[in-house]
Amino acid sequence: MGRQLGLFGDAYRKTIDDHAALTQLAARLPAHVRFGTSSWTFPEWRSLVYVETEDSLEEYARHPLFRTVGMDRTFYAPISARDLSAYAVQLPAGFRAISKVWSEITTPVFPKHERFGVRAGQINERFLDAELFTEQIAAPFQQAFADHVGPFVLEVPRSPTKLDPDAFADALGRFFERVPASLDYAVELRDPTLLVPRYFEVLAASRATHVFNWWTRMPSIAEQVAIPGALREGTRVVVRLMVPPDRKYEQLKKEWAPFDRMRAPNEAMRSDVADLIRHGGDAGCELFVIANNKAEGCAPLTVRALAERIAR
């Protein structure tokens, strides 16, 4: 019993009262909402999330407000069935993760950056390669992580060359026709010019969804929700809170580290998310809301602020 008190009493502000308050807060949230953060390995979150181990997914999943998590490492390389199995045993029943699809599949044209070497500025021949996705990504997840799979997020970065919006949408449609239909897919755009009617038509026909992202160069979440066809009834919806308008990710990473406190609370963003959660509930949707440290300075505190707003 002593260990139980240590785990659940000292965690989350290191007080039993605070853990109890978070548990009560979680009980007041609508069942169709899953809150979580973008990745989980941050030593600065000790006292906010962790007591024992700063990179423990098991301990992260014990936080009363967290019912999902963003798996960001999958954006940089495929993850093995062995690693997925190790994650799966740490998660409780019903806990589902958002997985970013390998950037090798979601990048149409390689950015003009030295890290891409000779490929910088070149067309990616493996863009939306359904066979590569099925073999390298879907198969390990279905084998070792099936009970915890949430939507797969295809984050499409801004291209150094202009994309044809309708051609891009049609390419998405061909991809969704060839990947496993039993999985859920969500598309996150970083270029607002791709928000054309054909894009939403393809998503609807493919049973995929649009990611409502709060990101420097995209329209606000409220503006995205207002687009016809953006929010569809009965779907799994992903919301990603990343970077405030007109700010840069790397700049905030330097300015706001360590990510242990709120730096720039944004009431407009919180209001938009609360409205989307309400509209999503009315439409019978399940919402996965992921917060990044660069949204306001500390992802766990952003989640808590959103939960308190919604509970009110």
What pTM was estimated for this model as a whole?
Answer: 0.93
Sequence-ordered list of residues with C-beta below 8 angstroms from that of 193, at least 6 positions apart, any chain = 162, 163, 165
| pLDDT score for 266 | 98
CA dihedral in degrees (38, 87, 287, 211; nearest 10)? 50
**pLDDT at res. 187:** 98
75-109 pLDDT per residue, tens: 999 999 999 999 999 999 999 999 999 999 999 99
pLDDT tens column, 220-248: 999 999 999 999 999 999 999 999 999 99
Q: How far apart are alpha carbons 267 and 260 in whole angstroms?
A: 19
pLDDT at 27: 97
Q: Are 172 and 201 in contact (CB under 8 A)?
A: no
User: How far is 300 from 291, CA to CA, in rounded Å?
Assistant: 8
* Annotated domain spans of the chain: 32-311
> Could you say which architecture CATH assigns to the domain 32-311?
Alpha-Beta Barrel (3.20)
Q: What is the pLDDT of residue 11?
A: 45
The DSSP secondary-structure symbol of 219 reads P
pLDDT (0 to 100) of residue 14: 54
Q: Are 140 and 190 in contact (CB under 8 A)?
A: no
| 3-state class (DSSP) for residue 85 | helix
Residues 40 and 60: beta-carbon distance below 8 Å: yes
Residue 39: per-residue pLDDT: 94
Residue 111: its pLDDT value, please? 81
Report, as ranges of residue numbers, the positions in the chain whose pLDDT lies below 50. 1-13, 15
pLDDT at position 67 is 98
pLDDT score, position 273: 98
Opening angle at CA 262, ends 261 and 268, nearest 5: 165
